[in-house]
Amino acid sequence: MAEETANDTQVAQENEVAPNDEAVQADELVQAEDMAQADELIHGEGIDQGDELAHDDDFVQGNELVVAEEMTPRTGTRRRRKKSLVWEHFTIEEVAGGATRACCNLCKQTFAYSSGSKIAGTSHLKRHITLGSCPKIKNQEQRLALPSAGGTDNDGEGTVERRTKRRYRYTGYANATFDQDRSCSYLAKLIIQHDYPLHIVQQPAFGTFIESLQPRFKIVDVDTMEGEVYAVYQKEKENLLQAFNTIPGRISLTIGLWTTSQTLGYVSLAGQFIDSEWKVHRRMLSFMMVSSPHSENALSEAISMTLSDWNMKDKLFTITLDNECSSHDIYSANLRDYLSNKNNLMLKGQLFVVRCYTHILNAAAQDVIASIHGVIYNIRESIKFIKASSAREEKFAEIALQLEIPSTKTLCLDVTTQWNTTYLMLLAALDYKQAFTTLETCDDNYNEAPSAEDWKKVEAACTYLKLLYDSAHSIMASTNPTSNLFFHEAWKLQLELTNGTGHEDPIFSSIAKDMHERFDKYWKDCSLVLAIAVVMDPRFKMKLVEFSYSKIYGAEAAKYVKVVDDAVHELYKEYVAQPLPLTPAYAEQGEANNGPANANNSQGAPASTGDGLLDFDMYLSEIQSSQLSKSELEQYLDESLTPRMQEFDILNWWKLNTVKFPTLSKMARDILAIPMSMVSSGSSIFTAGTGSHMLDDYRSSLRPEIVEALVCAKDWLQYSPAAKDAPNSALVKAEGS
């Protein structure tokens, strides 16, 4: 160590370093650290002379510059790898006479490092990069506009106390490891998750911002960033593929149609399933460009390619579509026939095509709003008139007070793209209908008050919009609604609309007939899958189907109940015919239970225990045989209903009863995972369109594979854990899944 200190002094003289008090203190601190580390390396326990020095910490803690010095190599030992942080800034160059010098990668200035077997320390190199000796680093810091004592920052927003020169540089970027590739990957994820354009990397302001954070980061071009985005997509897809291998059941798809300003379109496919822990998941699978997204042939090809890409050809259960197809029956039949040739569809495809429930709600709501669009226009203009000045608002409030209107609702304009706000606007305006009429007589500038007939139309519209509004809120109450929840809403809505068509008031009956015509089509298409799903709810089973059908169909209810009962039993038989993979716990239990049973069967009669109750043993054997003759489905349906409670978790119930109903639970897993709504968790149910989505011009200009990478990776990254976990962690959802 004394020899190394002498070398440091010699090097300082050679490079004409004139240390001030601060530099001397820094040199003494670093030398002390060097000597302590060298002593630990020589005398420390468990460290051989030939071992390499390894560090786990990537970053420097506090103001200490923790480094590993190169020790003088000994004869017969392996040369250790350089671990000092200074070697991120210096490169060893050989000179004449077997000596080497350290060259600064930034300013290209060289310093003595070794002469033959003598190796200098790195203290003088540390001083070069941390005490501002390097002109390149000094220029970079000046560009960062480090404020001077008592001065103001670049914007002149006040004084900033100047940090000491040493502290600033010791906590700067030179003390931390930097990885260009990792930073580029993080930038790609930022662009993906926040829908930033790829050309953000070319914007000068972005470059300035990045340089202020990390001057060593090299801004990449758009093509390179495309590659980074695609690399993130590929990595996340590989993780998800591994996780999909653990899915115990089938998968159901939701299909969205996207159009562009060009003639091309896109088809988005998302898969929904229940994992081995009985948690619901939905993941984007593909976002594929097609020549005609509304063609069933193009759609069928997209589905087949996606299933093949994800190794799910034998796992397809149902697909959920929107309701904007005028020839829905032909469309669905052609799609079913095409895919049934390549996939084994359950129940002969009767459950295969499902229509989105939330889309039918929105379509029905839009029909109601369109039927009174003239009245809605007058109400909007009336509210605008009142809200135009505080004097008018005060006058309107005074009128409402004089008329003793008890309503506490506040008049507000709606958002035309969200029908629930239109409903709330009409509901509030309806309470103040007399005030609008009075205002028209008091203010000559106001002449938009609806007539008595108009208010009657508003009342009828609100009556039926309330049914849709309440139904939508019931669905939204669950973070990830399972398919059993939708039957409750659908049958009540079908009953109310059916009764509404016979309303004595023609205004009410007219609106009800238009809504019923649309919703009845949905009910006929989807009532079977809705009913089968609610049968899988142990709180209702077949009983709710029987009750609701008696309300809807009256004397013909038994015929429709039988259709549901037959379908449930037929579907169960198909699951019985499939091989049932046993979980380790169930297999162990099965072996334990089957052992004595097989032994008894070989004897032909139950073994006597010698207590004189052989006849009783025979009786128990007969009871057991009769119970075993019942299928799991029959046992399930015959058992008493589970008590209804507010916080009932149906998935947890089936998880706890998987051992009791191994085959039926497999059937329940697939049915409960059917996406009755295409609206994903966190999205507004009231803005779900009934037709194609429009892809913006920027996305339309990108290559199809990059568009798919951006859309899919954004969906996947929201579920990716921050830490590296097991492969199936790709399925771990955020809180509330």
DSSP 306-338: HHHHTT-TT-EEEEEE-S--TTHHHHHHHHHHH
Task: For residue 72, count other CB atoms closer than 10 A to its CB.
Answer: 11
Is the pLDDT score of 4 beyond 50? no
Question: Which stretch of 302-306, 534-538, 542-546 has the lowest confidence by average pLDDT?
Answer: 302-306
Q: What is the pLDDT of residue 398?
A: 94
Check residues 297 and 360 and name the one with the higher pLDDT: 360
The listed range with the strongest mean pLDDT (126-130, 402-406, 540-544, 582-586) is 540-544
∠ Cα 714 716 722 (to 5°) = 100
737 falls in which pLDDT band (50, 70, 90)?
very low
Task: Calculate mean pLDDT across residues 174-188.
Answer: 85
Residue type, 677: S
Is the pLDDT score of 407 beyond 90? no
Question: Which stretch of 375-384, 460-469, 626-635 has the lowest confidence by average pLDDT?
Answer: 626-635
Alpha carbon distance 108, 91 (integer Å): 9
Is the pLDDT score of 58 beyond 70? no
The total number of residues written for the chain in this structure: 737
What the block records as the tokens of 10 is 């010699």
Task: For residue 726, count other CB atoms closer than 10 A to its CB.
Answer: 11
Do residues 428 and 412 lie in contact, with contact meaning Cβ atoms separated by under 8 Å? yes
Alpha carbon distance 402, 392 (integer Å): 15
Q: What is the pLDDT of residue 376?
A: 96
pTM over cut 0.85: no
Give the whole-number percent of the chain exceeding pLDDT 70.
71
pLDDT digits 0-9 by tens, 95-132: 877 788 889 988 888 888 887 677 777 888 888 877 76
Q: What is the pLDDT of residue 326?
A: 44
Alpha carbon distance 198, 191 (integer Å): 7
90 falls in which pLDDT band (50, 70, 90)?
confident
Alpha carbon distance 99, 96 (integer Å): 6
Residue type, 131: L
Q: What is the pLDDT of residue 345?
A: 78
Label residue 515 left, alpha or beta by phi (over 0 means left) and psi (-120 to 50 means alpha): alpha
What the block records as the tokens of 638 is 């015959």
What the block records as the tokens of 657 is 């009863």
Q: What is the pLDDT of residue 155?
A: 45
Task: Calculate mean pLDDT across residues 473-492.
Answer: 91
Is the pLDDT score of 5 beyond 50? no
CATH topology of domain 229-356+691-719: Nucleotidyltransferase; domain 5 (3.30.420)
Q: What is the pLDDT of residue 620?
A: 74
* Locus of tokens 């309107």: 396
Dihedral sign, CA of 705, 710, 715, 720? positive
Is the pLDDT score of 291 beyond 60? yes
**Pairing state between β 316-321 and 251-259:** parallel
Q: Which helix (H) or strand (E) holds 273?
A: strand 265-274
Task: Give SS3 for 179.
Answer: coil
Do residues 267 and 290 lie in contact, with contact meaning Cβ atoms separated by under 8 Å? yes
**Pairing state between β 316-321 and 353-355:** parallel
What the block records as the tokens of 302 is 């997209």
Question: Which stretch of 150-164, 416-430, 535-549 has the lowest confidence by average pLDDT?
Answer: 150-164
Do residues 129 and 174 lie in contact, with contact meaning Cβ atoms separated by under 8 Å? yes
**Pairing state between β 251-259 and 265-274:** antiparallel
Q: What is the pLDDT of residue 341?
A: 62
610 falls in which pLDDT band (50, 70, 90)?
low
Task: Calculate mean pLDDT across residues 716-728.
Answer: 63
Alpha carbon distance 513, 492 (integer Å): 16
26 falls in which pLDDT band (50, 70, 90)?
very low
pLDDT digits 0-9 by tens, 370-384: 999 999 999 999 999
Burial class (CB in 10 A: 0-12, 13-18, 19+), 518: middle
Sequence-ordered list of residues with C-beta below 8 angstroms from that of 377, at least 6 positions apart, any chain: none
Q: What is the pLDDT of residue 177?
A: 82
Q: What is the pLDDT of residue 209?
A: 94
Is the pLDDT score of 584 beyond 80? no
The listed range with the strongest mean pLDDT (48-52, 345-349, 606-610, 694-698) is 694-698
Do residues 273 and 300 lie in contact, with contact meaning Cβ atoms separated by under 8 Å? no
Task: Give, as one character, the DSSP assignment of residue 714.
Answer: H
Sequence-ordered list of residues with C-beta below 8 angstroms from that of 180, at least 6 positions apart, any chain: 216, 217, 218
257 falls in which pLDDT band (50, 70, 90)?
confident
Q: What is the pLDDT of residue 259?
A: 85
**Pairing state between β 280-290 and 110-115:** unpaired
524 falls in which pLDDT band (50, 70, 90)?
very high
Q: At what angle do helices 123-130 and 21-43 cross, to 10 degrees?
A: 140
Is the pLDDT score of 16 beyond 50? no
Q: What is the pLDDT of residue 304?
A: 87
Task: Give, as one character, the DSSP assignment of residue 445.
Answer: T
Q: At what angle do helices 485-500 and 452-476 cross, to 10 degrees?
A: 160
Question: Which stretch of 205-209, 289-293, 507-511, 538-542 has the lowest confidence by average pLDDT?
Answer: 289-293
Task: Calculate mean pLDDT across residues 378-406.
Answer: 94
Task: Calculate mean pLDDT across residues 283-307.
Answer: 84
Is the pLDDT score of 73 beyond 50? no
Q: What is the pLDDT of residue 324?
A: 56
Alpha carbon distance 387, 446 (integer Å): 12
Q: How far from the centroid of its chain's Cα atoms is residue 78's Cα?
A: 51
Residue 287 pairs in a beta bridge with 268
Task: Calculate mean pLDDT across residues 244-258.
Answer: 91
- Give, rounded to a whole angstrom, the gap between the first and last alpha carbons of the chain: 61
Task: Calculate mean pLDDT across residues 608-621.
Answer: 72
Indicate the average pLDDT of the chain.
Answer: 79
Task: Give, as one character, the DSSP assignment of residue 286.
Answer: E
* Locus of tokens 């290559």: 703
Domain ranges of the chain: 85-135, 229-356+691-719, 359-477, 479-578+649-677
Do residues 259 and 694 lie in contact, with contact meaning Cβ atoms separated by under 8 Å? yes
Residue type, 566: D
Task: Calculate mean pLDDT across residues 77-100.
Answer: 74
What the block records as the tokens of 3 is 């020899």
Residue type, 243: A
Task: Calculate mean pLDDT across residues 514-523.
Answer: 94
**Pairing state between β 280-290 and 693-694:** unpaired
Alpha carbon distance 472, 453 (integer Å): 29
Q: What is the pLDDT of residue 432?
A: 95
Q: How far from the centroid of its chain's Cα atoms is residue 523's Cα?
A: 31
